[in-house]
Amino acid sequence: MERRGKHRTGEARDGIDFAFVDKKIAIECDGEIWHSSKSAKRRDYHKDLILKKKGLNMPTLDELIQPEIFQDELYNQIAHIVCEINATTVIEIGSSSGLGSTQAIVSGIKTAGLEEKAKVFCIEASKIRCAELAKNHRKNSFIIPYNYCSTGLGDYLSEEMIECFYKDIRTNLNNYPLEEVLRWRREEIEYIKANRIPFHGIEAIRNHNDIKSFDLAILDGSAFTGNADCMKLIYLAKWIVLDDVNGIKNYFADNILDGDSSYELICRNLNLRNGYSVFKRK
């Protein structure tokens, strides 16, 4: 292993924290404060390109990340909905390691005393994150992890659609170069193929458990399958929570549900991170 100062990407300001050169892995430990500005994102993008040329890869899907939905307005909304409607069949897409919205679901279930009745199906495509999810909730038997991709490969937004969205709809996505956004999609698909992650997680959950409908669906998965996730769950879920409605992930899903007379908008906050919406079937 080589530390910062010994392994450089080519310029002094582009040093990385650690490099397992023999395994071709690079690791950054600087945290959000050093990587969240627009200039930092562009710097990191060019750094990644240089690292790739050198055969070093930055971990992505298998990187454990801090939960975004944690003890905030959306977290409280989810816990309240679960408790209020006595939700016993819940599907969560994009559970990560289970410390964010998953924990909010658990809080609602325990408050309502539904531990013996509830089943929470958590879809997470990353092997490492899904394993961590199972570990974190090993004492909650109602949490059922699925290491699946929620939809099929053909359900991913095409690069052409992503480029049109990027150019026509101004969102936080524009803080990143378009080529980087397209690279995210390619690498996500490559990861799923390389790790043989099964597709069609939503259908698998329904078939394995003979589920006709869900009390609650939380859509916070891949940035490139939110629309497909919504289309597969619309009319199957009594309540639907969308995170990142200001971004490409759930922008289209939010508009679909908003225009569907079968669903009622319960609340929306576009100012919390990338925005969220909650819909209830009429």
- DSSP string of 210-243, one letter each residue: T-S-EEEEEE---TTTHHHHHHHHTTTEEEEEEE
81 half-sphere exposure, CB direction, 13 A CA radius: 25
Token pair, residue 126, equals 């990353």
pLDDT at position 46 is: 53
pLDDT of 210 above 90: yes
Q: What is the mean pLDDT of the chain?
A: 84
Q: Reduced to 3 states, what is the DSSP secondary structure of residue 277?
A: strand
Residue with tokens 């049109």: 164
Name the percent of the chain in helix, strand, coil, to the closest 5.
40, 15, 40
pTM: 0.79
pLDDT at position 8 is: 40
pLDDT at position 7 is: 42
What mean pLDDT is predicted for residues 126-133?
Answer: 94
- Give the model confidence (pLDDT) of 138-181 as tens digits: 999 999 999 999 999 999 999 999 999 999 999 888 888 999 89
DSSP code string of 34-54 = HH-SHHHHHHHHHHHHHHHHT
What mean pLDDT is predicted for residues 90-105?
Answer: 95
Q: Which of 34-43, 85-94, 101-110 has the lowest mean pLDDT?
A: 34-43
Token pair, residue 258, equals 């908003």
The DSSP call for residue 62 is T
pLDDT at position 106 is: 97
Pairing of strands 263-269, 276-281: antiparallel
Token pair, residue 30, equals 């600087």
pLDDT at position 41 is: 46
Domain at 73-153+195-281, CATH from 3.30.9.90, 3.90.870.10, 3.40.50.150, 3.60.20.40: 3.40.50.150
Edge-to-edge strands, sheet with 25-27: 2-3, 18-20, 25-27
Give the pLDDT band of residue 65 (cuts 50, 70, 90): confident
Q: Residue ranges of the domains in the chain?
A: 2-53, 73-153+195-281
Which ranges of the chain does DSSP label H, i.e. alpha helix? 32-35, 38-53, 73-84, 101-112, 127-136, 159-168, 178-194, 201-209, 226-233, 251-258
pLDDT at position 30 is: 46
What gap in Å lies between CA 171 and CA 169, rounded to an integer?
6
pLDDT at position 6 is: 37
User: Which has more confidence, 33 or 177?
Assistant: 177
241 with 217: CB under 8 angstroms?
A: yes
What gap in Å lies between CA 245 and CA 171, rounded to an integer?
10
